[in-house]
Amino acid sequence: MYKAKTKTGAMSANPVTVGDILVTILCVGLIALCILPMINLAARSLSSANALVRNQVTLWPVELTWDAYATILADARYIRALWWTAFLTVICTFLSLTMTTLCAYPLIYEQLVGKKIINTLIIITMYFGAGTIPTYLLLRSLNMLDTAWVLIIPNCLSVFNMIIMRSFLQGIPGSLQESAEIDGAGPIRVLLHIYLPLSTPVLATLALFYAVGRWNGFSDALMYVKNRDLFPIQLLLYNILNTTNSMETATVEGFTTPGVGETLRAASVMFATVPILIVYPWLQRYFIAGATLGAVKE
């Protein structure tokens, strides 16, 4: 009897409201909006060209075929672009995290000379930029056009991400820093042995931001790179999706198999999207904690 009363009391204390039902329906709807297009895209990539022409494909492959993926995997340009993009993503993520940390760490010290001025100058860059043409002229004067550096250096630091990093470091108790300094640790040692080991959530979150940004980036390569060997996978995909004629696409991008058409486009999108999606589950547990840093102040 006691357990029954306890269960009844627990149920009455937390009743399901209309708001809960509406929020659940909204969440399910948003999940469906995100997942269903991916399912449709996967189905189109695995369907025959004739099935796509007849508009028979919705959420399940029709006349299942792997020809589009076989065409992509047999082409050296696609494989090279994939590995090149993966290499760029790793290098840019590591460099960006290093630059973000080195920029944010000094700003947590109250005794930093000109701290307010430096913060102001950094934040100004979030709202005002030189523009595309001055940036192009600057990169040309630095002889960075059509090189790998033009895809790495210009975007190695995000001010928004730096502010997130700074907010997290400011939230770490100052007593830890003071105790390390009493033991004779300098600023670099404090960073390496105190702050970085406690910064796993924000580092994982920012790594996800930087990695996704670099993996999905193509506009910088489109404007600054002409060497096809330096094309990232997204620029290769961009060229395919912006070519209306399927045979022209096959010719321009090096494919000689006729009839793939829309199936090739869908397979290309899946081929470029799935690798970065695989990374997300490994960093998901840190994402919420890292993304909400600085939202609450005591």
CATH of the domain at 139: 1.10.3720.10
In a domain, 298, yes or no: no
Share of the chain above pLDDT 70, in %: 84
Cα-based torsion angle of the residue sequence 207, 209, 212, 214 in order, rounded to the nearest 10 degrees: -80
**The token pair that represents 124 in the structure block:** 């100004």
User: Residue 291: its pLDDT value, please?
Assistant: 53
For the chain, first and last CA: distance in Å? Answer: 45
Region 3-31: mean pLDDT is: 72
C-alpha 269/C-alpha 259 separation (Å) is: 18
Beta-carbon contacts of residue 100 (< 8 Å; ≥ 6 apart): 157, 158, 161, 162, 165, 206
Is 44 in the same domain as 135?
no
CB–CB of 238/222 below 8 Å? yes
User: Residue 287: its pLDDT value, please?
Assistant: 63
User: Residue 274: its pLDDT value, please?
Assistant: 81
User: Residue 172: its pLDDT value, please?
Assistant: 86
What's the total number of domains in the chain?
A: 2
User: Residue 261: its pLDDT value, please?
Assistant: 66
Q: Of 238 and 158, which is predicted with more confidence?
A: 158
In a domain, 296, yes or no: no
Range of the domain at 122: 67-291
Region 176-199: mean pLDDT is: 86
In a domain, 149, yes or no: yes
In a domain, 59, yes or no: no
Q: How many other CB atoms sit within 10 Å of the CB of residue 34?
A: 9
In a domain, 97, yes or no: yes
User: Residue 250: its pLDDT value, please?
Assistant: 46
Q: Give the pTM.
A: 0.77
CA-CA distances (angstroms) from residue 33 to 37, 209, 248, 256?
7, 22, 32, 35
Cα-based torsion angle of the residue sequence 29, 35, 36, 37 in order, rounded to the nearest 10 degrees: 120
Is 7 in the same domain as 141?
no
C-alpha 218/C-alpha 221 separation (Å) is: 5
Is 186 in the same domain as 245?
yes
Is 99 in the same domain as 215?
yes
Is 177 in the same domain as 273?
yes
Task: State the sign of the Cα–Cα–Cα–Cα dihedral 105, 106, 111, 114.
Answer: negative
